């Protein structure tokens, strides 16, 4: 039997990544302990406590834990985490500063929510890679079909975004966000992979938004639980993070090449 060339599902980096994930959760709970106490106060431990346990949160936690462990590679994942942190901070700053949404702690934005972005980004990366592997069996390459659904999906999203953020057209943050989305949509590098990334981000985003809005952890100005735009915005954010990662890898490659050429010149001299 011919051995499989696909990497193992659990790599030597998976344990390290799992440890970092659990450590992040521990630090969030430890640093913001009053929030954890408030959350646990809702559970009636003297009665049927299992009826008060947040099974949706546990399910999301377990799903993301399992997905980010799959075929972990710290060289690749470190970039995803880096982009996720700063990308998440930018998105949360935009939303809370323009009052599109607000958190129950009234922080703008709350620092305890930022680690959720790189964790979700790692999970979305794994989901996208799985979708890409499955889709290439039927439709290889960047075919006209992928391009059609790409433009249909992203044109629809941009229309929905214009409607949703229209109350904040007087904010510079909103115009920066709109400009970035338009530039990303008009300059696709891979229609198929962008569409799959959007689908993966929106899919995971639905459950994240469902949990956050129904628990009133964060609330949108429309009071929907959750609004369709918020769900799809996770898909757009995932595409933005993916594209940002590609740019950073390109820049880093050029920096390394320049450094190697400089060393070679010095050795020849």
167-202 pLDDT, tens digit per residue, is 999 999 999 999 999 999 999 889 999 999 999 999
Confidence of residue 8 (pLDDT cuts 50, 70, 90): low
Cα 266 to the chain's mean position, in Å? 43
Q: Determine the pLDDT at residue 138.
A: 57
Contact 56, 211 (CB under 8 A): yes
pLDDT exceeds cutoff 70 at 12: yes
pLDDT exceeds cutoff 70 at 49: yes
Q: What are the CA-CA distances from residue 247 to residues 83, 189, 198 (Å)?
A: 11, 11, 18
Cis peptide before 109 (omega within 30 of 0): yes
Instruction: Give the C-alpha separation, 182 to 161, whole Å.
Output: 11
Among 101, 134, 65, residue whose Cα is nearest residue 231 = 101
Q: Determine the pLDDT at residue 4.
A: 45
């Amino acid at each position: 039997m011919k051995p499989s060339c696909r990497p193992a599902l659990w790599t030597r980096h998976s344990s390290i990544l799992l440890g970092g994930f659990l450590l992040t959760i521990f630090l969030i709970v430890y640093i913001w302990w009053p929030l954890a106490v408030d959350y646990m106060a809702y559970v009636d431990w003297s009665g049927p406590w299992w009826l008060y346990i947040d099974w949706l949160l546990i399910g999301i936690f377990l799903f993301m834990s399992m997905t980010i462990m799959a075929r972990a590679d710290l060289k690749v994942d470190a970039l995803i985490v880096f982009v996720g942190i700063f990308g998440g901070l930018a998105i949360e700053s935009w939303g809370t500063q323009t009052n599109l949404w607000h958190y129950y702690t009234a922080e703008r934005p709350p620092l305890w929510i930022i680690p959720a972005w790189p964790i979700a980004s790692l999970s979305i990366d794994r989901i996208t890679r799985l979708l890409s592997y499955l889709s290439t069996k039927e439709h290889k390459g960047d075919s006209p079909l992928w391009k059609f659904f790409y433009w249909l999906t992203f044109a629809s999203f941009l229309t929905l975004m214009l409607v949703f953020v229209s109350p904040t057209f007087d904010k510079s943050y909103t115009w920066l966000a709109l400009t970035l989305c338009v530039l990303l949509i008009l300059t696709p590098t891979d229609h198929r992979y962008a569409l799959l990334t959007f689908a993966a981000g929106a899919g995971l985003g639905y459950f994240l938004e469902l949990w956050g809005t129904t628990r009133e952890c964060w609330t949108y100005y429309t009071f929907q639980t959750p609004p369709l735009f918020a769900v799809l915005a996770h898909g757009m954010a995932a595409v933005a993070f993916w594209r940002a990662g590609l740019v950073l890898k390109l820049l880093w490659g050029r920096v390394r090449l320049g450094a190697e050429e400089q060393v070679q010149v010095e050795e020849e001299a």
